[in-house]
Amino acid sequence: MTTLISFGVRTVRSLASLDVDVFWHDACLDHDPGDGLWELPGHWPWLDQPEPHPENAARLRTFRAVLRDGPVAPRLRWRTGRLATVAELAAVHDRRYLDRLRAACAGPGRTTMEENTVVGPGSWEAVCAAAGTTLAAAEAVLAGEARRAYALVRPPGHHAQVDRADGYCLVNNAALAVEAARRAGCRRVAVLDWDVHHGNGTQQLFYADPDVLTVSLHMRHGPWGENHPQTGAPAEVGAGPGAGRNVNVELSLGAGDAAYLCALDEVVAPLLDRFAPDLLVCASGFDGSTFDPNGRHNLTAAGYRKIGGRVAALADAVAGGRVLFTQEGGYLRGYAALCLHALVEGLLGTGPLLADPLAYLPDDSAMHPERTAADLDAVRAAVGPYWPELFG
């Protein structure tokens, strides 16, 4: 087998499969934030039964189950991830923050890193497994062993900033993949984030970097505390040489499938085509689903299937088919798992394989196209000066 990938001239000759390689590490299950409710950790005396923190191991086990036992299973190749080293984590994070995080994970009890984010015994191994498994997936794509790799990991990463945890995120897995790509010779990398929340950590890490295009599609939620000062507004376009390379597609509440597809077609696709990344990294969250307790942005399984199709086509068109996914949010675990399966169906172009038992519920999210048009006009107005040939 010969594999030749030349990022410089954007040619690929690889025998890597067009199926999806899924990367997994058992230690991702070891992070236990304890009890919680909706977005928050802790206990509520008025509950008959304690509920688990929204970001819990059961959600990742459910995601694994749907891919292992669902109808896409024959098209997936399961591969074992690895633990990242501290030196690897330090490619994007401050060493003192990593020391603080590791000490907080040493127990014996749990430590609150910020309002929503709790660590305890087992969390450090999970952090290293999530990061290392993402790196293993990236390395497989970069070596030409895989075209489409999905790092099925937790804790998630896209809110983690250089020296702070935020929003259940401790280490920024997508950002580590970007740095791995650069070490492998990639000149430009694009990050596309469809978690319902703003990818503020990834934004912060590459805000002044002209060679990393960060695009986040999210609900208009604004800053949410000391650890999350970024607003996610279109006006946050990047700084210095990175100006114009951070694109915030802030969608009105309850945007729905139609708005996301419109944003991908009208804003994201032309940007990626023009930027011509060597690798596409996707921060893949399912908390935009219509039933998610932390999102409720009216995306359906059918919508995620179409997003998967769009992403496959985009990766093929602009990045030689090289695309890496890191698992971000998605907290109504059964429906989020269905959405994950649908996304993979879209990637593979299989058409619907799993029925959505909730598809009968009415969806009025497409009834306000003028709202989406205004949202996208705001994005074009903000970044247009930096992309005059596209939006000027």
CB atoms within 10 A of CB 274: 12
Query: What strand order describes the sheet that includes 148-151?
Result: 76-80, 20-24, 148-151, 323-327, 279-284, 189-193, 212-219, 246-251
Stretch 253-282: interaction string toward Zn ion, x if CB under 5 A: ------------------------------
195 binding Zn ion? (CB under 5 A):
yes
Stretch near Zn ion under the rule CB under 5 A, chosen from 173-181, 192-200, 302-310, 336-344: 192-200
CA–CA gap between residue 382 and residue 363 (Å, rounded): 30
55 binding Zn ion? (CB under 5 A):
no
114 binding Zn ion? (CB under 5 A):
no
* Site size for Zn ion (CB under 5 A): 5
179 binding Zn ion? (CB under 5 A):
no
Mapped onto helix, strand or coil, the DSSP state of residue 343 is helix
**Identity of the residue, 81 or 295, whose beta carbon is nearer to Zn ion in the bound complex:** 295
199 binding Zn ion? (CB under 5 A):
no
Closest residue to Zn ion, based on beta-carbon distance: 329
Least distance CB 353 / Zn ion (angstroms): 26
Residue of 110, 147, 197, 297 interacting with Zn ion (CB under 5 A) = 197
**Identity of the residue, 14 or 227, whose beta carbon is nearer to Zn ion in the bound complex:** 227
Least distance CB 264 / Zn ion (angstroms): 18
Least distance CB 288 / Zn ion (angstroms): 8
Stretch near Zn ion under the rule CB under 5 A, chosen from 96-104, 174-182, 193-201, 301-309: 193-201
Least distance CB 158 / Zn ion (angstroms): 8
**Identity of the residue, 223 or 270, whose beta carbon is nearer to Zn ion in the bound complex:** 223
* Sign of the CA dihedral running 238, 133, 123, 32: positive
CA–CA gap between residue 303 and residue 286 (Å, rounded): 11
Active site residue 31: no
Q: Which of 162, 64, 154 is nearest to 117 (CA)?
A: 154
- Dihedral of CA atoms 261, 267, 269, 274 in degrees, nearest 10, equals 180
CB 280 within 8 A of CB 272: yes
Q: Which of 147, 149, 200, 154 is nearest to 173 (CA)?
A: 154
CA–CA gap between residue 97 and residue 118 (Å, rounded): 15
CA–CA gap between residue 179 and residue 176 (Å, rounded): 5
25, 53, 159, 218: the active-site residue: 159
Residue of 88, 287, 345, 375 interacting with Zn ion (CB under 5 A) = 287
166 binding Zn ion? (CB under 5 A):
no
Stretch 141-160: interaction string toward Zn ion, x if CB under 5 A: --------------------
CA–CA gap between residue 244 and residue 239 (Å, rounded): 8
CB 217 within 8 A of CB 194: yes
| Cα 372 to Cα 250, 252, 267, distances in angstroms | 10, 7, 12
Residue of 329, 338, 345, 383 interacting with Zn ion (CB under 5 A) = 329
93 binding Zn ion? (CB under 5 A):
no
292 binding Zn ion? (CB under 5 A):
no
**Identity of the residue, 82 or 154, whose beta carbon is nearer to Zn ion in the bound complex:** 154
Chain residues binding Zn ion by CB under 5 A are 195, 197, 285, 287, 329
Enumerate the active-site residues. Answer: 159
